[in-house]
Amino acid sequence: MKETICIVGLGYVGLPLAHAFAKAGYETLGYDIAEKRIGELRRGHDRTRELNEKQLKEVTMTFSADSEILERADIIIMALPTPVDAENKPDLSPVESASKTVGKHLKKGAIVVYESTVYPGTTEEICGPILEKESGLVCGKDFFLGYSPERINPGDKEHTVTKIVKVVAGQDEKTTDVLCELYSSVITAGVHRAPSVKVAEMAKAIENAQRDLNIAFMNEIALLSNKIGIKTKDVLAAAATKWNFLPFKPGLVGGHCIGVDPYYLVEKARQLGMETHVIDAGRQINDRMSKEVAMQVLNALDVSPAKARILVLGLTFKENIPDTRNSKSMDVVHHLQSAGCAVEVNDPYVSDEELKRMEMTTGACEENRYDAVVFLAPHREYLADVQGMINAVKKGGVFYDLKSLVDRDTIERAGRRYVAL
């Protein structure tokens, strides 16, 4: 008989995973503290756009904001955010709070699996004791711990949850066996059996830290290329002709993973009395890029900032998703506003309600309206109407193309000035 699975946290990670288990025939429960989110899912609506209405209704999943649902689960999978605070210190409060709730409803023999990105030791040294305290059960005897880091790429319809190799670890061999069998039943790409929970935790953290460092290098190269007076796009195209050149590109690093996870490694090193240098350097470069982008726009204007009207296209941290968490696009907006510019924003994936909450002024690609259009998140809707974006810029104005996706000659033939990172 298959286990009953409960997914805690029904966001970008938890919901697709719940769907995969339900599709494989498991009794699948979903718990989230957000009652509004539960109501939407019951009605067949996923605001993250990871699943469509048909996918939500093709399987049987039980969604609830009542924590008593946890008592039915044989295996509880924690898919929760692990952000950083204002000082870039790891904030484990979502995971700790959820662990307290789960502990209160934990049944004997259950396995609790964490999928959140954490620093090594978190699952066994922080979460395990919380579960013990709240449940009155003994970890490793009455219940068991596992760790299988999420690898969801929001908005990616090709590399979906079942098509990405899953790293799996349990606190002992038997638990690892159970979890490998469980995940293997839904992950068609297969599983990688890690020798310990700490190894799996560390592996996840370095995946995103590695990307952060590579992008930081490209950002520094972009800034240097601009100083020299050559095009970053041309430099990368030439370098990419070598077979082992890594094709990373410059840009803004936001979101809930790449711009956050390195700080978890920094924190663990600090706890152990070790200084990190390379990781810190990468973070410093990427954290300052929103200001660098704003300065490039300001320097390109042919009017004073106080007289400039600017449209920023794309507020989400990446294209074709509605996720604005830790988005550096908003930092660009704030830098431009601080310089005195009148800034309007547009994003087809961000609701009017959220824009109002962020105190943003909305705008649109109206002809000859702006001194500069700043193209940050390349949503498919924008790329389908490149001419509309160009026409929104006044003659002689600036079209800023963060990712060098629009043809420079097209911009310049239209009488606008082209600037790119």
C-alpha span between 82 and 99 (Å, rounded): 13
Nearest to 112 by CA among 158, 26, 50, 178: 178
**What b/e sequence results for 213-237 when a residue is b if at least 16 CB atoms lie within 10 Å of its CB, and e otherwise?**
bbbbbbbbbbbebbeeeebbbebbe
Helix (H) and strand (E) counts in the chain: 17, 13
C-alpha span between 56 and 36 (Å, rounded): 16
Segments of 2-92 assigned E as strands: 4-8, 27-31, 61-64, 75-78
Given the residues 6, 127, 139, 257, the one annotated as active site: 257
C-alpha span between 6 and 4 (Å, rounded): 7
CA distances from 162 to 7, 30, 166, 345 (A): 16, 18, 9, 36
Query: Residue 392 half-sphere exposure, CB side, CA atoms within 13 Å?
Result: 25
Known active-site residue 6: no
User: In this structure, what token pair is assigned to residue 226?
Assistant: 């601009």
Positions marked active-site: 257
